[in-house]
Each structure stands twice: as C-alpha cells, then as structure tokens.
Structure 1
Amino acid sequence: MGEGAVNRVMGPLEWGFLAGLSVLWGGSFFFVGVAVGDLPPFTIVFLRVALAAAVLHLAIRALGVALPRGRQVWTAFFGMGLLNNLIPFCLLVWGQTQIASGLASILNATTPLFGVLVAHLLTEDERMTGGKLAGVALGLAGVVTMIGPDALDGLGGGVWAQLACLGAALSYACAGIFGRRFRRMGVAPMATATGQVTASTILLAPLALWIDRPWTLAMPGWEVWAAMAGLAVFSTALAYIVYFRLLASAGATNVVLVTFLVPVSAILLGVAFLGERLEPSHLVGMGAIGLGLMAIDGRAFAVLRRRRTAGAGSARSLQ
C-alpha cells in the first residue's frame, strides 16, 4: 500500500498540529461523558458526524474548496468513514457506557502500538524499528501513570467493553494507513474531512434510526446540546481538518501519536480552567510520554549516538 512516501520525522509545524489535535480530541471524552447520560450511543455518533458534516459543507462553500465527485474518491471516503468514524466512534461510546472513561482512554492509547504494527505490515516507508517500539512502550506507560494505575483496576470486568475500546484503537490505526491515499489523489485536507464525515453520516443514519429509534427519546437538555455542538464542531470538524493535514505530511505512524498527548491536554486544560491540581504522577507521566515521543521521532537519540561515536573515534586517535 504505497500511497506516496511521507516525512517520517516531524518538524515544528507537524508537532504543533499534533499538539493542537490532542486538545481538540481531548475534549471529546468530556463531551461524550455529558451526552451519554441522555442519548444512546448510535444517536450520539450520528449527531456528531451529521453536525460536523453540515459545518464543513458550509465552510468549504464559503472558502471555495471543491468537493471531488468521482466514484473512486467517494469509495475511499466511505472506506475512511467506516474505519475512522463508524467503527471506532461506536465502539468507544458503547465502551464508555460499561467502563470508566480513564480506562477507556488508556485502552485508546494503544493506537500507536497498533499503528506501528500495521504500518510495518502494509507500508514500505514506515517500517518498525526498535526505537519506535521502545517509544510506544514508554508513551503507554506515561499514559497509565498520568491517569493513575487505579484505572487499571477495571481490567478484571467489562471484558467486552475493553475489547471494544481495543477494537477502536485498531480501527484508528488501520484508518491512518488507509487515509494516506488521499494525498496521492490530490484531495485537500478540508475536502477529505468533509467527504469522510459526509460518508459517515450516510452510513450511520439507518443504524441510529433502526437501533436507537431516536423519535421515542425524551428531548435532551441544553447541556447535552452544548456538548454535542462542541463534539461536532471542535472534536470532529476542526479536528479532522488538522488530522488529514498532518496525515498527508507526517504519515500514519506519527499521526496516531496524538492518543498519547490527549491525556496530557485533558489534564493541563483541567489545571488551567477547572482549578484542578497538577500531581507529581502527572509530571512523571508527561516525562515518560516525552521520552517516548523522542524515541519514536529518533532525531535526539541519533544526535547522541553520533556524538558518542565521534567521541570514541577521537579517543582512539589519541591513543
């Protein structure tokens, strides 16, 4: 699946996009947590993509961005919508009805591990290395440390919900590989985001109507509608514009690293706006995540290896 080589080492712009994406997606767990008490899973997911699609269609019309019409690109939009929206959104939302959000976010943070494995199997330019595996392990350990080992207490129960969250992580990883084709097709990130959520809306509409029967539900309060608006506009529409921009330039392995940064963003936002405390475990976890990202990026360790090799060479020449 060689849909065009990408930059395997991210620059400052890509790291900025990754941090921004983590903030946008970090809010999704909060928004879902508010909505899940009043709305069933398929209705939440359908409203999320339908509202996001409406926002993006208005945006591309205002900006004069053309949406492709060919059968090949729309087949790809539906494939991306299935892997990146329908499957993982439904699995995660359903999983959060059975297990704590902290455990769900830890299981979701296995996405980079699946991403490294899937990219190694299906691409030629994003191969697995020891540094990547070590970085993924460090990052995952950092997420567990930040959220707290107590979140792992739920591993003994809710097995199907946990498998659902792991299935969502695998689906996200596969979507990262599948989505590389849009760069080769020459589809702009905003058009890709619009096409994907539009296809997802079409796929999800019959499921939400058949399973949830939303016309039988009580009208939610304004808090739920506010959460759905935030989920659609920020955590979906804007997030996917950033996602596809980053995927086109940095590749699938790098873009899924965002799941390590989502807990970091959530905690820092809580400290900044909700008066929460920054605990020592948070700092330790952030440090582990930082080391993991450095190991996956590889440049810092490559510089250290070159300096060590140069130092050893100089020492031998003096003997």
Structure 2
Amino acid sequence: MTPQTDISPRAWAELFLLALIWGGSFLAIRTALDEIGPLTSVFFRVSLAALALWVWIWARGLALPRGAALWRAGLVMGLLNNVLPFSLMAWGQLHIPTGLTSILNATTAVWGALIAALVFADERLTPRKIAGVSLGFAGVILAIGPDVLDGISVADLGQIAVVAGTLSYALASVWGRRHLSGVSPEVAAALMLTGASAVMAPLMMATEGVPQLAMAPRTIVSVLYYALVATAFAYLLYYRILKMAGASNLMLVTLLIPPVAITLGAWVRDERLEPTAFFGFALLALGLLVLDGRAARWLRARHAGKI
C-alpha cells in the first residue's frame, strides 16, 4: 500500500489539537501526582475514560461486544496499552521532568517498527527502517544522557520506566492488530479501558489503599482532564484523524507533543531540561521521519525539482 502523503487543512487542525491535548496530559498527570499515588492516578484515568466511552457507544447505538474471547482480548490489550505503560510513566514522572517524559514517549514508534518486523511478514526491516530505528534509539540514549554510566539513580530509573512503557505500547499495537482488528475503534478502546480498570482497582487497593475523593480543586481538574479529554476524547479524535489522514501522517503527532509538554512544564512547574535532551529529541525525530519514509520522499522531491 502506498503511504498517504497528502493531508487536508482540517486534518492538520485536528492533528495539532490532538498534540495539544496529549502534550497537556503530561502536565495534568504530574499535577495530580502531587496529591495522589501513581496507581491511583491510573485507576481514575482508565475507569473514568471507560465510563465515558461506554456512554458514547450507547448514545451512538453501536453494537456491544459479545463473546468471552473478545473480552479476553480487551483485557490483554488493557494490560499492554494502559496498565503497564500508564503506571510505569506515572511513576517515572515523579522523578523526571514532564518534558523529558514526553520526549522518551516518542520511542513508541521506534519500538513499534522493530516489533512489527519481528512479528508480521509484511513489516520486514528494510535498510531504511534499520536506519530509522538506529537513529531513534541513538536519540533516546542521548536524551537519557551519559550520567547513567556513573551509576543508576532514581531519575535514571524514572527514564527507564518511561522507555519500558513505550515498549509496552508497541506490544499492544501488535496485539490489537491480531486480535481486535475486526472491532470498531470506539468499542475496542472501551474494552481495553474496562479491562485495565478491572486490573487497576485491586492493584491500587493493595498498594495505595482506597482513593480519597476529597482532593484539591487542581487535582480534580487534572484528573478529569487526563481521563475524559486526554484519554476518552483523545482516542476518538485519534481514530478520526487516522481515517482522514492515514497512519503515516498521524505519526507526526509524536513529534508535535514534546514541544507542548516542554513548554507547559517550563511555564507551570519551572522545569528545565539538559541540552542533551533536546539534541536527543532532534535525533529521535529524524529517526521517525526516516522510518515512515517521509525524509526520503522529501529528498527525492527536491532532487526531481532541480532536474
């Protein structure tokens, strides 16, 4: 299939909106973590988002999922796409800046290309993809910084947790392609969030106890934002853009999120990143552009224009 390269002004607008929403989620999660534990923050996120999506499905009159196999697939998807990455990243954000978290989050696309090549016959690693993956991982290593060689600190563990979360995201995409490809996106998202809620509830209770609902107003606003806007609504917007612009163009949101998160982290929490983080992001961004073939198409177009 030929990659989709054209993108309409409306798709661009919605792509930027999605980047703003997801970029803001890093600040919202970090703000909530000032008062609640990471597992509690994840429980609120998945349970409220699941509820919102089931209401949407009911209002739209969409067919409800039937069969134990589909619910089991949703449970595994919830583990891989919500429970593990959300929990790892929430814990990581306690120890590293929100902007750095958003940069490392972009590693998802690099893992995705590598794992898809190992699992699917039609996703083999071409020389271009190998170059993109190599550049991407080099960017991650540079963003993490050389200090990790002097000994593992809590901040280093936070960065490792975030990168591990992106690996889980990539595994989830493979699982979803194999087991949930025939389900409507809204129902698939509701299934995985429901499965994630079923896992997070006892996990939260066993480690952080019963959540306290008497929270500060900014915590409540943060929770509602990242659960209803940055999860439930963002999933719907994500699939809408995917349908309009294609997967190749949708990947651009990965590059638009960090500038938003970095700006908000500096403005609201006075966070400052090391120069290596910015250089690492630039290298990672180049790797992603090489991965999807956009850089090669741009170079070919420039060459053709000079002839």
- Normalising by structure 1, what TM-score? 0.75
Within 5 A, what are the aligned runs for 1:172-211?
Answer: 172-181=169-178, 184-185=181-182, 187-211=183-207
Deviations 1:23-78 (A, max 9, x none): 22211110111100110111100001111111112112112122212222212111
Q: 2:227 aligns with which of 206, 229, 232?
A: 232
Deviations 1:234-265 (A, max 9, x none): 111012223455668855x8866644331033
> 3-state SS of the aligned residue for 1:180?
helix
Note the C-alpha offset of 1:176.
1.6
Residue type at the aligned position of 2:290? A
CA RMSD of aligned residues (A): 3.8
Distance in 2, matches of 1:306 and 1:244, equals 29
Distance in 2, matches of 1:43 and 1:223, equals 16
Q: 2:58 aligns with which of 48, 51, 61?
A: 61
Within 5 A, what are the aligned runs for 1:143-158?
Answer: 152=145, 155=148, 157-158=153-154
Match of 2:209 in 1: 213
Match of 1:82 in 2: 79
Deviations 1:97-153 (A, max 9, x none): 2333333333323222211211110112333233334445666778999xxx6x747
Match of 1:260 in 2: 255
Residue type at the aligned position of 2:37? P
Distance in 2, matches of 1:259 and 1:16, equals 15
Structure 1 residues 254 and 90: alpha-carbon distance in aligned structure 2, compared to 1, 3 A threshold: farther
Note the C-alpha offset of 1:208.
1.2
Structure 1 residues 194 and 124: alpha-carbon distance in aligned structure 2, compared to 1, 3 A threshold: same
Match of 1:3 in 2: none
Distance in 2, matches of 1:195 and 1:136, equals 31
> 3-state SS of the aligned residue for 2:122?
coil
Which stretch shows the higher mean deviation, 103-112 or 16-25?
A: 16-25
Q: How many pairs align?
A: 295
* Residue pair 1:264, 1:286 contacting (<8 A) in 2 also: no
Match of 2:92 in 1: 95
Which entry has the higher C-alpha Rg, 1 or 2?
A: 1
Deviations 1:263-287 (A, max 9, x none): 033357789x98x9xxxx8998997
Within 5 A, what are the aligned runs for 1:109-124?
Answer: 109-124=106-121
- Normalising by structure 2, what TM-score? 0.78
Q: 2:24 aligns with which of 23, 27, 47?
A: 27
1:51 paired to 2:45: no
Unmatched runs of 5 consecutive residues or more in structure 1? 1-5, 315-319
Structure 1 residues 45 and 287: alpha-carbon distance in aligned structure 2, compared to 1, 3 A threshold: closer
Match of 1:73 in 2: 70
> 3-state SS of the aligned residue for 2:123?
coil
Identical residues among aligned pairs (%)? 39
* Residue pair 1:114, 1:169 contacting (<8 A) in 2 also: yes
Distance in 1, matches of 2:131 and 2:172, equals 23
Distance in 1, matches of 2:284 and 2:228, equals 28
